[in-house]
């Protein structure tokens, strides 16, 4: 998977989570908004109900009054029955509102009744969603268009909904009742729209923050992917270098065995054949011949021991690492003439032979780098065990590391890799007075005391 594809997939997944979060927030807001809207409607229409009960309204037939009282009671119960699903309560109120509007346009087609169908789609859209808004808008449009024809089409019903002659629009009771109804509708709509406006603002702000968070996480994932790719490439190069070093070590050992042990054994074999030929001729064997043969065999054995020590420089003993590093420093000083010494602190006792082997190879590589590349004239190796930690330091007084490390060199990487395998820490630090300090710190479990 490419970086772009990975980023796009991560972005899509987080965006889906953001959309789901916004949808849940909208559902919660609508549930609370329905409660607030119904409570405001109960309070807003209360004066109109009081005027109707006190007789301060135009004469209305009992069927219309019963419908108005029933609608208001349903509104009161819907406002307090919050345990019922908010959509069911809203649909019940909208249905009764349309019945009231139909009866109203037949009996008293005033401004309140004409405004009610216009307000209902807004309420349905905000409190329920697009589907409810479309249905209520279609119903309201149909009702508004058919309003002029309802009294004509249903004259009997229209007469049954009114008592006597229809009051003039200028009558005080009619104007007061319609004024209170319009005021209640206006306040409810304003409160509803203000709440919705605040919700939209908060939702947009939250979405903006969420998208910023998405972009930040996508950026982090992209950087992490790039860093992982670089690390994988480094590990691949390190594996290739380790393979190359292993192959070179095999070739070196093969040459040492061929040019050393094999030559000594071949010489001893020739001496044996010469001695056997002399004996076959009846010539006596001299002590010098036997001594020369013995010398060749001893040299072959010593050469084989040297090769074996190169393959496994540590013996199977807890204190073998101290002896192996001390031998390494002495041999370095003898061969190069550079002072090289080992300083130990604490009880150098390591039971883990793999750990000891890695530490020895780190010391060997660091000393080799100081001799071959740093131009050092003195090398100090420090090995300490304290507080459940093993600390290995190699300090030289050479010219230090270059500002840009060569890409072909893998010595530092192999040492760092060995420290990582031991779950330790590795650092290379230039010294103020010149030179370099290579430090490796690994965890250490002290040996358990023997049972009494």
Enumerate residues 6+ apart whose C-beta is below 8 A from 147. 105, 109, 114
Q: Looking at per-residue confidence, does 257 or 435 come out higher?
A: 435
Burial class from Cβ neighbours inside 10 Å (0-12, 13-18, 19+) for residue 22 reads middle
**Nearest CA to 30 among 130, 116, 154?**
130
DSSP, residue by residue, 140-161:
HHHHHHHHHHHHHH-HHHHHHH
Rounded Cα distance, 399 and 221, in Å = 40
Tokens at residue 390, please? 């093993």
Q: What is the CB-side half-sphere exposure of residue 308 using CA atoms within 13 A?
A: 8
Give Cα 164 to chain centroid, integer Å: 77
Radius of gyration, alpha carbons of the chain:
49
CA dihedral over 297, 299, 300, 301, signed as positive or negative: positive
Task: Read off the pLDDT of residues 264-316 as tens digits, 9 standing for 90 and up.
Answer: 677 777 778 777 777 777 777 677 767 777 777 776 776 676 666 655 556 65
**Nearest CA to 349 among 238, 444, 450, 246?**
444
Rounded Cα distance, 350 and 307, in Å = 24
pLDDT of amino acid 116:
77
Q: Which of helix, strand or coil describes residue 406?
A: coil
Which residue carries 């406002």 as its tokens? 79
**Nearest CA to 163 among 257, 254, 64?**
64
| Buried/exposed code over 406-426 (b: 16+ C-beta within 10 A; e: otherwise) | eeeebbbbbbbbbbeebebeb
pLDDT of amino acid 325:
87
Task: Read off the pLDDT of residues 115-148 as tens digits, 9 standing for 90 and up.
Answer: 778 788 888 888 888 888 888 888 888 877 777 6
pLDDT surpasses 80 at 105: no
Ramachandran quadrant class, 149 (left: phi over 0; alpha: psi -120 to 50; beta: rest): alpha
Task: Place 30 in a pLDDT band, splitting at 50, 70 and 90.
Answer: confident
Burial class from Cβ neighbours inside 10 Å (0-12, 13-18, 19+) for residue 274 reads middle
Q: Looking at per-residue confidence, does 161 or 70 come out higher?
A: 70
For the chain, give the percent of residues with pLDDT over 90.
Answer: 6
Question: CB neighbours (10 Å) of residue 343?
Answer: 10
CB 419 within 8 A of CB 442: yes
The predicted model gives 448-452 an average pLDDT of: 50
Task: Read off the pLDDT of residues 229-271 as tens digits, 9 standing for 90 and up.
Answer: 888 887 787 777 777 766 776 776 666 676 566 766 777 777 7
For the entire predicted model, the pTM comes to 0.43
Task: Place 393 in a pLDDT band, splitting at 50, 70 and 90.
Answer: very high
Rounded Cα distance, 362 and 442, in Å = 12
Rounded Cα distance, 303 and 287, in Å = 24
The predicted model gives 94-105 an average pLDDT of: 79
Mean pLDDT of the chain: 75
Rounded Cα distance, 245 and 371, in Å = 19
pLDDT of amino acid 13:
54
Q: Looking at per-residue confidence, does 316 or 55 come out higher?
A: 55
The predicted model gives 150-172 an average pLDDT of: 48
Task: Place 170 in a pLDDT band, splitting at 50, 70 and 90.
Answer: very low
Task: Read off the pLDDT of residues 201-214 as tens digits, 9 standing for 90 and up.
Answer: 777 777 778 788 88
Q: Looking at per-residue confidence, does 156 or 266 come out higher?
A: 266
Laid out side by side, the sheet with 425-430 consists of 340-345, 379-386, 389-396, 436-443, 425-430
pLDDT of amino acid 161:
47
Which residue carries 């119904």 as its tokens? 38
């Amino acid at each position: 998977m490419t970086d772009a594809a990975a980023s796009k997939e991560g972005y899509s997944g987080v965006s889906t989570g953001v959309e789901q979060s916004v949808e849940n927030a909208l559902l919660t807001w609508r549930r609370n908004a329905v409660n607030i809207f119904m409570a405001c409607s109960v309070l807003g229409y209360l004066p109109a109900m009081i005027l109707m009960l006190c007789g301060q309204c135009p004469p209305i037939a009992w069927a219309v009054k019963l419908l108005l009282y029933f609608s208001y009671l349903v509104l009161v119960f819907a406002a307090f029955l919050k345990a019922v699903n908010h959509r069911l309560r809203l649909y019940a109120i909208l249905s009764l509102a349309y019945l009231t509007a139909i009866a109203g346009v037949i009996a008293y087609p005033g401004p309140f009744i004409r405004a009610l169908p216009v307000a209902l789609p807004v309420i349905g859209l905000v409190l329920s969603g697009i589907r409810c808004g479309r249905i209520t808008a279609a119903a309201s449009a149909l009702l508004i268009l058919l309003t002029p024809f309802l009294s004509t089409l249903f004259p009997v019903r229209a007469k049954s909904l009114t008592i006597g002659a229809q009051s003039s629009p200028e009558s005080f009771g009619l104007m007061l009742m319609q004024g209170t109804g319009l005021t209640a509708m206006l306040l409810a709509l304003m409160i509803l729209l203000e709440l919705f406006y605040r919700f939209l603002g908060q939702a947009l702000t939250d979405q903006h923050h969420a998208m910023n968070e998405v972009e930040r996480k996508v950026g982090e994932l992209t950087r992490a992917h790039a860093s992982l790719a670089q690390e994988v490439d480094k590990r691949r190069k390190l594996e290739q270098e380790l393979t190359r070093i292993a192959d070179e070590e095999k070739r070196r050992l093969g040459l040492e065995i061929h040019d050393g042990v094999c030559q000594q054994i071949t010489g001893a074999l020739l001496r044996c054949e010469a001695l056997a030929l002399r004996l076959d001729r009846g010539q006596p064997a001299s002590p010098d011949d036997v001594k020369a043969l013995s010398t060749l065999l001893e040299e072959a054995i010593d050469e084989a021991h040297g090769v074996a020590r190169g393959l496994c420089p540590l013996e199977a003993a807890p204190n073998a690492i101290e002896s192996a590093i001390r031998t390494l420093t002495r041999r370095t000083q003898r061969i190069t003439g550079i002072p090289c010494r080992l300083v130990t602190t604490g009880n150098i006792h390591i039971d883990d032979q793999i750990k000891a082997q890695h530490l020895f190879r780190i010391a060997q590589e660091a000393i080799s780098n100081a001799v071959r590349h740093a131009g050092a004239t003195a090398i100090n190796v420090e090995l300490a065990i304290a507080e459940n930690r093993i600390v290995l330091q190699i300090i030289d007084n050479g010219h230090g590391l270059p500002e840009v490390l060569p890409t072909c060199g893998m010595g530092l990487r192999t040492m760092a890799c060995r420290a990582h395998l031991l779950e330790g820490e590795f650092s290379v630090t230039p010294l103020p007075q010149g030179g370099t300090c290579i430090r490796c710190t690994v965890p250490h479990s002290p040996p358990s005391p023997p049972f009494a």
